């Protein structure tokens, strides 16, 4: 087993991981940035075509406190306000820094263009022209990292487990898929930044590697997860006609930049029937929009393929071309003409508000273990405000990197025996003989993952019920305890896709169980957690839910929401 030493190990190379690397490197520490995919080209950031929320005030008068108010309102009383404060307060500085690093934000000379997005009170969201925000951001950060000699970049390295001694992380075990060798990495601090877990749902907008790796690594290391029940379903994911080579969530910027009419199967606007105010401006939050679309379908008023119509037919070709010229040409290649036809949209799993529990230094309850980006829970509460994902990655990444670099190890930098023990446990798990060969001999890790995705979509999706959640959690535990132990990946380690599927499934089953357990315990409807048989909010559950692993089993408990001692109206700290 190859042995490597570093000061800071960062797992995941999207915006959060890259920002953490840049931040940690400023302290002249040795940094290792690894990703199971290619550096900066896997995960969510490079796929993002949306806008970035920051109270710059370049289009309308704005202040970070107003952004914070909108974030807290969207989060429906469950935001960890200390984390939300960090996000909103520091977002403008990060946008300006990215501009200095040559991110070409759409602008009018010195003023960055900003648009009104759902849930925001003013025009606050900036972007890069023609749905290019994510790739532009990834390119900028990749360029900055390339300048840093103390950052080692490693693609194709899957981190399998963390090594912990006396509640302090001291390293990790990984698998280099190209070389086919296990790697032991000793580190003073580790930052988990491997993104979300929406790959767990059959209909999703995620990249393949977003199956909850950070969450599972954190749980097995002894850290806590919080508010795992809150999965955000993007309401207007593309449904029909067939769309090739384009992101299924591309319609959001179309709608709030140009206006777009969301219609049911009878070609009637319907959001107003569910307590929202929509019209052409598209200001309603994502949770309510997703709920309303599915309810219209349940009532028999859906579009032909089981969604809703999104129509831009009231706009001229000139207006569409001016706003999205190159994209209009791509749509034309797919035989879609927005001036002549509406398209069908429906909810799609897109983001996860829950995640790893951290303090305001981004540190978990395990010493030296930090987290950043979408895998962090708390800042967005029960429903994320549009545009908050990328600034969250910037802000939390920078804090996590700086905090990790300042960590002082209280234990030996590398304990080879502990690392070997962790690897040995994994190899025992991999090499064990199936207990029920005949019953599961045709089941593969990939097939079981497909079954898990279908189960989660049907029972833990936008609309949930007590019966569906009970069935889901029982079935997931059967998969985890009875079927998974009987799966044996193909032998060998070099480019072994069967082994990679097995490792992905190992993490995904654990995360799916955590989501189901949390959803089953929250007996109310709030934000992205909608119970059909408990259709009301309860003050009893105005608390954050914590999931821990104790003796190999997941357990749930409740804790008070972290509030900020700050008067948002007067813009000053409250007197204590």
Helices (H), 281-337: 286-298, 317-333
* Of 348, 382, 414, the domain-final residue: 348
CATH classification at residue 534 = 1.20.58.100
Domain count of the fold of the chain: 2
- Residue 52 to residue 49: CA distance in whole angstroms: 10
Residues of the chain with pLDDT under 50: 576
220 in any annotated domain: no
Do 238 and 332 belong to one domain? Answer: yes
CB 404 within 8 A of CB 187: no
Residue 460 lies in a domain: yes
CA neighbor of 95 nearest in space, from 66, 63, 55 = 55
DSSP state of 259: -
Helix (H, G, I), strand (E, B), or coil: what is residue 99?
helix
Q: How high is the pLDDT of residue 96? A: 97
Half-sphere CA count of 224, side-chain side, radius 13 A: 21
Q: Residue 482: give the domain boundaries.
A: 434-539
Asked if residue 466 belongs to a domain, the reply is yes
Which of 189, 164, 175 lies closest to 31 in space, CA to CA?
189
The answer as to whether 470 is a domain residue is yes
State residue 576's pLDDT score.
46
pLDDT at 575: 60
Mark which of 300, 323, 348 sits at the end of a domain: 348
| Whether the bond into 241 is cis, omega within 30 of 0 | yes
Residue 154, beta-bridge partner list: 34
Q: Has residue 264 been placed in a domain?
A: yes
If phi > 0 it is left, if psi is from -120 to 50 it is alpha, else beta; for residue 211 that is alpha
Shortest CA distance to 302 belongs to which of 263, 248, 276, 261? Answer: 263
Choosing from 287, 315, 348, the residue where a domain stops is 348
Q: Tell me, what CATH number does 320's domain have?
A: 3.90.700.10
Cα dihedral 407→413→416→420 (10° resolution): 0
Tell me if 162 is assigned to some domain. no
Q: What is the CA radius of gyration of the chain?
A: 23
Q: Give a yes or no: residue 390 inside a domain.
A: no
In a domain, 455, yes or no: yes
Q: What is the Cα 246 distance to its own chain's centre?
A: 20
């Amino acid at each position: 087993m190859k042995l490597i030493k570093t000061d800071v190990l960062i797992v995941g190379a999207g915006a959060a991981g890259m920002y953490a690397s840049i931040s940690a490197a400023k302290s002249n520490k040795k940094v290792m940035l690894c990703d199971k995919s290619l550096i900066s080209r896997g995960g969510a950031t490079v796929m993002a075509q949306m806008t970035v929320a920051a109270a710059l005030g370049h289009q309308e008068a704005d202040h970070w406190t107003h952004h914070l108010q909108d974030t807290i309102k969207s989060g429906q009383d469950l935001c960890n306000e200390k984390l939300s404060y960090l996000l909103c307060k520091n977002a403008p500085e990060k946008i300006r820094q990215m501009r200095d690093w040559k991110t070409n934000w759409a602008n009018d000379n010195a003023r960055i263009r900003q648009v009104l997005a759902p849930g925001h009170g003013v025009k606050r969201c900036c972007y890069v022209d023609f749905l290019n925000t994510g790739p532009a951001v990834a390119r900028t950060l990749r360029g900055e990292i390339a300048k840093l000699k103390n950052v080692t970049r490693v693609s194709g390295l899957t981190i399998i487990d963390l090594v912990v001694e006396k509640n302090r992380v001291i390293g990790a075990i990984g698998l280099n898929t190209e070389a086919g060798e296990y790697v032991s990495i000793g580190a003073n601090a580790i930052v988990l930044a491997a993104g979300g877990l929406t790959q767990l749902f059959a209909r999703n907008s995620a990249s393949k590697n977003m199956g909850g790796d950070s969450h599972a690594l954190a749980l097995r290391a002894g850290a806590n997860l919080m508010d795992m029940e809150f999965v955000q379903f993007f309401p207007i994911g593309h449904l029909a006609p067939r769309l090739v080579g384009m992101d299924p969530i591309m319609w959001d910027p179309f709608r709030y930049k140009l206006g777009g009419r969301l219609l049911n199967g009878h070609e009637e606007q319907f959001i107003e029937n569910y307590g929202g105010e929509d019209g052409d401006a598209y200001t309603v939050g994502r949770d309510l929009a997703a709920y309303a679309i599915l309810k219209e379908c349940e009532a028999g008023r859906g579009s032909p393929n089981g969604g809703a119509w999104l129509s831009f037919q009231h706009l001229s070709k000139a207006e569409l071309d001016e706003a999205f010229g190159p994209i209009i040409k791509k749509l034309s290649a797919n035989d879609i003409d927005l001036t002549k036809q509406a398209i069908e949209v429906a909810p799609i799993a897109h983001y996860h508000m829950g995640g790893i529990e951290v303090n305001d230094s981004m540190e978990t309850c395990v010493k030296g273990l930090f987290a950043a980006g979408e895998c962090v829970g708390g800042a967005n509460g029960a429903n994320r405000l549009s545009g908050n994902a990328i600034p969250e990655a910037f802000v939390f990444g920078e804090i996590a990197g700086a905090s990790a670099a300042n960590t002082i190890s209280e234990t030996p930098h590398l304990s080879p025996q502990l690392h070997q023990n962790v690897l040995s446990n994994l190899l025992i798990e991999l090499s064990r003989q199936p207990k029920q060969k005949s019953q599961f001999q045709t089941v593969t890790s990939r097939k079981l993952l497909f079954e898990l995705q279908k189960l989660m979509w049907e029972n833990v999706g936008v609309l949930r019920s007590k019966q569906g959640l009970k069935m889901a959690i029982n079935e997931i535990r059967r998969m985890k305890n009875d079927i998974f132990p009987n799966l044996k990946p193909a032998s060998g380690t070099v480019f072994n896709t069967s082994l990679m599927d097995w490792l992905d499934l190992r993490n995904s089953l654990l995360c799916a169980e955590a989501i189901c357990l949390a959803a089953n315990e929250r007996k109310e409807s709030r934000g992205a957690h909608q119970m059909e048989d408990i259709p009301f909010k309860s003050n009893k559950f105005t608390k954050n839910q914590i999931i821990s692993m104790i003796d190999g089993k997941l357990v749930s408990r409740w804790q008070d929401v972290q509030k900020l001692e700050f008067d948002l109206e007067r813009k000053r700290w409250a007197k204590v």
